[in-house]
A and B are shown apart, each in its own frame.
Chain A
Amino acid sequence: MQPDWVSGPKLRAERLFADYGGAPVVKDLTAEIPAGEITAIVGANASGKSTLLRALARLLRPSQGTVYLDGADICCLPTRSVATRVGLLSQSPRVPDGVLVEDLVRRGRYPHQRFFCTWSKTDDQAVERALNLTGLAELRGRAVDELSGGQRQRAWIAMALAQDAPMMLLDEPTTFLDIAHQVEMLDLLARLNRTENRTVVMVLHDLNQACRYASHIVALTSGRIEAAGRPSEVVTADLIQRVFGLKVSVVSCPVTRTPLCIPYRYIY
């Protein structure tokens, strides 16, 4: 059985400018997030990756331009209605003192709860599913601040999954994880995309991971889109030179056949 959001919500930025009260960080950016796919936003430090993601998640109100969710300005939509369509894993979520894994995941049900209604069966099912999908069912009674980095990140993913939004935005979901946990995290997201048709949009630092897991890449340089499209089509030595100022050789990954960038020495 296919869920009813199989086509997925449509998220689009049009002529977007965004700043933090100073010079614009994102400049005149137009982009469309393909529904049902994994999109990776890549770029050098301070290129506006996270700012773009924050604008897409309505955490940051654009100074000009508009983010459209299913055709409507995301800033004008009721925030709960956005929350049932777009979930977020922020870069530095806060773990409340002593919170248990299951309690954390249950908080993800917020947008589905009405003022006086109590916890429903649907809420329970969503929480169970999120715990099972992330392999946390056995750790449900553990305190989140006692988990390992990888488990903790999975707990946050489970919280976002319980939100039950067909689209998930993730701001550098692999930071602070070792390589095994990075792969575990990205495989989990790939699986969610494949089996549940969830649209995934993430900011990634590692270009090779972006090429490997994303079907759509958005490369930014100083707040503008340098290239967007399938990794195999857009990731070239020339693009990497322009985006990161780094000379690389692009080869085909022996494992996944996706582009693999191997840097030369940095020229000072």
Chain B
Amino acid sequence: MTRTASLCTASATGILALAVVGLVVGDFPVPAREALATAIWDRGSEFDFVVNSLRFPRVVVAVLAGICLAVSGALFQTLIDNPLVSPDIIGIDTGAAAMAVAVLALGLDTRLLPYAAFAGAVGTAGLIFVLSWRRGFSGGRLVLVGIGINALLTAVITYMLVRFPIERVSAAARWQAGTLSSSSWGDARTLAIGMALLVPAAFLLIRQLRVMQLGDDTAIALGVGLEPSRLTVIIVGCGLAATVVAVVGPLGFVALLVPHVARALAGAFSGGVLLLTALLGAVMLLSADLVAQRLFAPTVLPAGVVTAAMGGPYLLFVLRRFNRAA
């Protein structure tokens, strides 16, 4: 078995193990055997509500969101050939957050929230793309425009948070941290649909991306239609990020870090590495969510706080290595 295949197997096993832990642990004590039985075959048990309505959807949402975020990050980093790029860095998440905060701050129907967040993410992606287009497309320009837009939207959010009544904006602040604690089966379904459409699309783009990595000239010479391919990669990457942010809120660092770890473990971009990236994304988010739930139990942290706490130090470590290499 190749190295990548064994790493994928290990990650898949890790996902299963973490999922079982996610079903078993929690504020309400459920014996491990009972928890598994309830989740898989014994629907009528006394723990049905705790396991099947609270814990199981949360575990599934963590797995699906982790996969989507990691794949999205891998697409952006490969396309732009910069390991420090991800949808949350270039403002996609902030765009979603701005719309979501607007919904909460203005006191609109909270059922609108996921749709508004999705629209915010897609709108921001479109804006970045239009503003960075000048006689073609450059990855560097896209990142700079994205960082600018990110700063601008952050200012808009801050304005709304200070401008509107505190009881409304406190919900907004909580949403912004990215949390899985209220995940429902409906959330899992939304994510599953997004994933079923976009992750296969990402896998179909691997061949082009592997050639585009060799530089624009080489990619054209090898017969890649650069602009359409780039546009497709960006649409798929943004779509994945937008779906996640609409369902669970902005979860930083998963998209940024997981592709890194996968590359460091398994080497240059390929189908196997993308699969490993997806699986590791699920591992990271599942474990982050478990830590968020149990670290200061019964106080539950938003998962986004934990991913940032895991991600920050790793990012510094990567930057250090980067500086040494340069």
Contact = CB atoms under 8 A, between A and B. Distances in A.
Interface of A: 21, 54, 57-59, 79-84, 86-88, 90-94, 96-100, 103-104, 107-108, 110-111, 113, 115, 159-160, 163, 169
Interface in B210-264: 210-211, 213-218, 220-225, 263
A84 B223 CA distance: 8
A239 B222 CA distance: 36
B268 interface: yes
A111 B135 contact: no
A160 to B, nearest CB: 8
Contact of B222 (A94, A100, A108): A108
B222 A98 contact: no
Contacts of A21: 135
A110 B220 CA distance: 11
A99 B269 CA distance: 8
B222 A96 contact: no
Given A88-B218, A98-B268, A110-B224, 9 more contacts: A59-B216, A79-B224, A90-B218, A93-B218, A96-B213, A107-B222, A110-B207, A159-B214, A163-B222
B181 interface: no
B184 interface: no
A92 B270 CA distance: 22
Contacts of B208: 110
B221 A94 contact: no
Contacts of B270: 103
Interface of B: 81, 83, 135, 204, 207-208, 210-211, 213-218, 220-225, 263, 267-270
12 contacts: A57-B217, A79-B223, A86-B221, A87-B221, A88-B218, A90-B217, A96-B213, A96-B214, A97-B268, A107-B222, A111-B222, A111-B223
B215 A90 contact: yes
B268 A94 contact: no
A113 B222 CA distance: 11
Given A57-B221, A111-B223, A92 B268 contact: no
Contact of B214 (A58, A84, A107, A111): A107
B267 A98 contact: yes
A91 B211 CA distance: 16
The winner among B210, B218, B269 for most chain A CB atoms within 10 A is B218
Nearest to A57: B221
Given A90-B215, A110-B207, A96 B220 contact: no
B217 A113 contact: no
Nearest to A168: B221
The winner among B83, B211, B217 for most chain A CB atoms within 10 A is B217
A39 to B, nearest CB: 17
Contacts of B207: 110, 113
Contact of A99 (B83, B225, B268): B268
Given A59-B220, A59-B221, A86-B221, A94 B81 contact: yes
The 3 A-B pairs with the shortest beta carbon distances in the complex, nearest first, are: A83-B223, A88-B221, A90-B217
Given A83-B223, A111-B223, A163-B222, A88 B269 contact: no
A80 B223 contact: yes
Contacts of B268: 96-100, 103
Contacts of B217: 54, 57, 59, 88, 90-93
A23 to B, nearest CB: 17
B225 A107 contact: no
A111 B208 CA distance: 10
A80 B211 CA distance: 13
Contacts of B214: 93-94, 96, 104, 107, 159
Contacts of B216: 59
A58 B215 contact: no
A110 B222 contact: yes
B109 to A, nearest CB: 44
A217 B177 CA distance: 65
Contacts of B263: 97-98
Contacts of B135: 21
The winner among B204, B222, B263, B270 for most chain A CB atoms within 10 A is B222
Contacts of A91: 217
Nearest to A115: B204
